Chain A
Amino acid sequence: MSEGNSQGKKHALLERLRIQSWKEALWTVIFSFIGAVIYLVVALIPMPYTMVSLFKLGLAPALAVIPAAGAMRGPIAGLLTGYIGEVVHVLIITGGIVTATLPALAYGIMGFVVGLARYDFARGRSLGKLSLLSALGFVMAAVLILAIGLMVEHSGTLATIGFVFLPLVTVGLPSVVLLAPVFGRIGHLALKGLNLGGIVSR
């Protein structure tokens, strides 16, 4: 009985991670790479913003791609979309690696956290849950990035808070709260239109 229970838990975990079979794992990897490419393309587009005193206001749609990917295909897809997308983004912009890719990992963790829950993209309540969990994942990522800047990169405290953490929060938080459900819903509809709805549906 306990062995069967353990097997069931293991299967449920693999299913939650969307790697319960080779085929599912392959789809997760493919989905992650597509998500990373979308993140990269959107991240490379200069976005408008407005400063109100020291507060930066605007939207960063690329950030919302990560939780949307996690919501659609599970935590591993969210993790890989954020991590790979940001690593390649950094590579393109800097030609190298920034802080051992740890900030990219923080973005990946946001996708992972969001991907742990199940969503029904046709229901507003479920999209609301996606907004909330995106906010939670984002705050975790932002705090991690702040800690990485202060404790690993050893950047100036004021510089890290004023030029990284603060704008990241004031732009990123509304972005993931508002746009993650939008992207999730649109992505879900697009995949359904391609007869690939099964990739997403829970």
Chain B
Amino acid sequence: MSSYLKTNKFFVAVLVLSLIIGGLTFSNLPGPATSLSVQTVNGVNYNFADYGSLTHEQLALFNYLDTIVSQEYQPYGNWSGWNAELFAGLHHYVLAFMSYATAGLFESTPGYRTDYYRNFAYDLIKKMNTTVAEFNDTSIEYREWMNPSYGFSQYHYPNATNSSDLYVGGYRGPANIMWTAHYALMMELYERNFLTGELASEIGWYVRDWNNTLTTDGYGNSKEGGIFGVGLIPCEPYIVFVQCNSIPIYTTELYDNLYDTSYMDSGIWDYGLDFINTTMQDGNGLFTDGYYTMEPVGFHYPSEGPPPTFPGLALDRVMLDGRPRVSSYCNAWSLAFLEYTQPEETIKDYPVFVDLYGKDLSADKMYMVDSYYYPSRFGTYDILGSLFTLALAKQRGDVSTRDRILNFLYGSFNKQWSADGRTLYYDTASLEPFLQAVLAFGWIWGTTPVTIRNLADARPSAFWGYPYISHADDDNMWVYQAQWNPVKEGFVLNIRVDQLSTLTFSNFDHVPTAYSGGSAMAQLTTSGADYTLSLQPGTYNIVIV
């Protein structure tokens, strides 16, 4: 042995060093895949791969989000753990898109509807609706609208300072689609996923307000193009964006589907859709980023190049040669949310978008440049555009692009698991701590099996009569799959249990039996009108019939 070492010193040295370095850096491997079996119960075949499923990491990321959202951990007006001190004005976007991402997670296991998911969704909405009266400058109302530097509070249209003109300055009013639409959609997805009825009336108020804004002059007279003349609603009192208006368009679609109304058929958004598909376009058939309906108060004209026209397209702030502003985040967001309404546009535009904005970094990494006018720049908006493209690429079935962007966004951060193994986040402190919450929901948004387009459809009314898990020891379990098959009349449950846990099932019309591996493992226990199943620690693929 010693003679071998003497004659092979270098070989042994590099081999040992390789093992040491490999050992010291052994982390951040991809999480385990969810185990999916095939079982035959009473002659009926159940292939678990046919049902929506979540991974252990997706659930751990959600558990992390719960710790910075739920009232159980902090009051609604508190931002502890958000690393958002320097990002006033962005909080409401994070809340909104976190809501959309997690709505897809909930929909992936539609038969698991305990307080755990429902309370999270509810607390997000409450956090979005924090007021100055209750939370002062930590409220969303202050950070998104009331901050004195914005000057939005008192605002009239078309003359901002003429109090005789139409008042559009209210926080919840007709010139604040960047909050009203997100808030309404968050509530709507809550009702879509949990059907409590509690928020239906408030959602309806917003949809009616948009209808008024888009089809009248604000004084009760019918007007084509609505108050602002373009069939769209401003984000700030003087500029409209395709991306922001894609949210109320999507919300109106879902509202019609949920409450059997016909706002879309009535043409509420027809003028605006035509406007974005014709006027707010660049030379490549993609959307431009912003259109001024009037000159903003205190507008700073560019030092060189042609001045902007009002009303007119927002111009690029760097090129200063009169070309319209374009951005990847605007297009990714818009194409994703508008696909339900105009699928042919998104399907046609998507490859053009990826080709124009996508930048190959390596075989396994790419990102979306903020603007294709100046691709050599790199900053926050490139990351933002890449983040939105995750959801769009998934929706378009472009797994390669989705995965390469995931590698770009997440490959530079360590995974941080909690000591008890319940929560996970990506530690972004070395680059930007604010990204921590964003990347947590971003992973969920980009990887769960449910798309934005899927969520625009309401669940069939029969769904609410299907058996489901109504109560459980949520803190002790990982629910990877939970779905009732109405045709086979069986409940598919894929679950890991860390400690002895009990699940309560509602809506079964008989005493059900749980099967594992095709063999009966237990009959559920009757508990009032419900049935309970207790599970020892372990991982199970169960069919309950």
A contact residues vs B (CB 8 Å cutoff): 43, 46, 48-51, 53-54, 56-59, 86, 89-90, 93-95, 98-99, 103, 124-125, 127-128, 131, 145, 149-150, 153-160, 162-164, 167, 174, 177-179, 181-182, 185
Q: Which residues of chain B from 400 to 417 have a CB within 8 Å of any chain A CB? A: 400, 403-404, 408, 411-414
**B361 touching A154 by the CB < 8 A rule?**
no
Is B25 interfacial (CB 8 A cutoff)?
Answer: yes
Complex Cα distance A167/B365, Å?
12
Stretch from B34-42, B275-283, B374-382, B472-480 at the A interface = B374-382
How far apart are A105's CB and chain B's nearest CB, in angstroms? 13
A153 B412 Cβ-Cβ under 8 A: no
Of residues 11 through 56 on chain B, the ones whose CB sits less than 8 Å from some CB of chain A are 11, 14-15, 17-18, 21-22, 24-30
Residues of A within 8 A of B26 (CB): 48, 50
CB-based contact B375/A155 at 8 Å: yes
Contacts of A93 in B (CB 8 A): 363-364, 400, 403-404
In the complex, B510 has a CB within 8 A of chain A: no
B8 lies within 8 A of chain A by Cβ: yes
Highest count of chain B CB atoms <10 Å: which of A50, A86, A159: A159
Question: A179 vs B16: C-alpha distance in the bound complex, in angstroms?
Answer: 10
Q: Which B residues fall within an 8 A CB radius of A?
A: 7-11, 14-15, 17-18, 21-22, 24-30, 359-365, 367, 369, 375-379, 382, 400, 403-404, 408, 411-414, 427, 430-431
Chain A residues whose CB sits within 8 angstroms of the CB of B359 once the complex forms = 153-156, 159
Q: Across the A-B interface, give the 7 residue pairs with the lowest CB-CB distance, nearest first.
A: A156-B378, A124-B10, A58-B25, A158-B378, A50-B25, A90-B363, A159-B378
Set of chain A residues within 8 Å of B369, measured between Cβ atoms: 155-156
State which of A48, A53, A131, A159 has its C-beta within 8 Å of the C-beta of B367. A159
DSSP majority for the B interface?
A: mixed
Our count of residue pairs bridging A and B at CB distance below 8 angstroms stands at 132
Shortest distance between the CB of A8 and any CB in chain B (Å): 34
**Contact pick for B404, options A43, A94, A156, CB 8 Å:** A94
Contact of B360 among A99, A124, A127 (CB under 8 A): A99
Interface centre among B24, B26, B360 (most CB of A within 10 A): B360
Q: Which residue of A lies closest to B26 (CB)?
A: A48
With contacts A89-B363, A164-B362 taken as known, whether A157 is within 8 angstroms of B14 at the C-beta atoms is: no
Contact B25 A57 (CB under 8 A): yes
- The verdict on A178 contacting B25 (CB below 8 Å), with A94-B404, A98-B363, A167-B412 known, is no
From residue B398, how far is it (CB to closest CB) to chain A in Å? 9
* Most chain A beta carbons < 10 A, residue from B14, B30, B359, B378: B14
Question: In the assembly, what is the distance between CA of A41 and CA of B240, in Å?
Answer: 50
CB pair A59 B22 closer than 8 Å:
yes
Determine whether the beta carbon of A156 is less than 8 Å from that of B376. Answer: yes
CA of A31 to CA of B483 in the docked complex: distance in angstroms? Answer: 52
> Given contacts A53-B430, A56-B412, A124-B8, are A163 and B365 in contact (CB under 8 A)?
yes
Minimum CB distance partner of B383 in chain A: A159
Greatest chain A CB density within 10 A among B7, B17, B412 is at: B412
